[in-house]
Amino acid sequence: MSVPNLTKRANALGTDKGDEVGDTHGYTGFYSFLFEEFRHEPFTMVEIGLQHGNGSLDPDLLVGRKVDDIPSIKMWLEFFPKAEIVGCDIADFSAIKIDRFRFERLDMGNAVALERLASSLPPVRIIIEDASHAAYHQQLALAKLFPIVEPGGFYFIEDLHTTHAIAARLPPCNSTETVVEKFTQTRQLDIPFLTAIERRNLETTIRKMFIHRNDKGGVNRWTMKMVGFGK
């Protein structure tokens, strides 16, 4: 059986994880390499951030924005024919019904909502976080959701190159890129709003963390992601 070309499917379905649509991140080449060996296995996957926010930084506009498609979810459902996929977004995608897809509305800045989501899920093989790109949201979600990643699983934070202006309204913290770089050197997480116990739990359960850069004649900071491997 032939392996689907993830980049071609990303382009055809209209997600910028490929190399032709939108910001053309080109993540699919990296993902297909990592995921091919277990492509046909049954597992649970979570993706946070389901459709482009149309450039808006206003949370009220993001909440109420019109949504009509879930291109990356459709891509994953094709690539992983036995996976159950949970999609999360601050906007309402509940009208979209597809087999093996479940929608959960989620505010990335709400710790209780993140904990509720985590408690509702089985161990998860893959989490891809592609939501607001605000450092506080990225780090809060990592703290609350990484504990449900199964041993050997993956937690990705896409687009570390950007922190939107919405971050000015949130609790202060270092950029997620800075946090990841420091962790790779010291195995310490410099996330000030976490308790000492939360930080220690993450530090001891993340087996490996790194930034992936797509080099196109130099480091292309527009294609950076963090990968935290499960226990």
- Name the residue range of residue 176's domain: 6-229
DSSP classification of residue 2: P
Grade residue 2 by pLDDT with cuts at 50, 70 and 90. Answer: low
Is pLDDT at 161 greater than 80 in this prediction? no
What is the tens place of the pLDDT at every residue in 47-74? 999 976 544 445 555 665 667 889 999 9
For residue 28, the domain's CATH number is: 3.40.50.150
Q: How far apart are CA 203 and CA 119, in angstroms?
A: 21
Q: What is the pTM of this model?
A: 0.89
Beta strands in the chain (DSSP E): 44-48, 84-89, 101-105, 124-129, 149-158, 209-215, 219-229
User: With 0-12 CB in 10 A as exposed, 13-18 as middle and 19+ as buried, what is 80?
Assistant: buried
Q: How far apart are CA 27 and CA 158, in angstroms?
A: 9
The question of whether 133 is a catalytic residue gets the answer: yes
Phi, psi of 99 (to 5 degrees): -60, 135
What's the structural domain count of the chain?
A: 1
Has residue 119 been placed in a domain?
Answer: yes
Q: Helix, strand, coil proportions of the chain in percent (round to 5)?
A: 35, 20, 40
What is the tens place of the pLDDT at every residue in 70-116? 999 999 999 999 999 999 999 999 999 999 999 999 999 999 999 99
Q: Which residue in this structure is represented by tokens 């995921």?
A: 35
- Of 133, 137, 164, 212, catalytic: 133
Has residue 1 been placed in a domain?
Answer: no
Q: How far is CA 39 from the centre of its chain?
A: 18
- List the structure tokens of 12: 């055809």
Has residue 193 been placed in a domain?
Answer: yes
Grade residue 25 by pLDDT with cuts at 50, 70 and 90. Answer: confident
- Strand order across the 219-229 sheet: 101-105, 84-89, 44-48, 124-129, 149-158, 219-229, 209-215
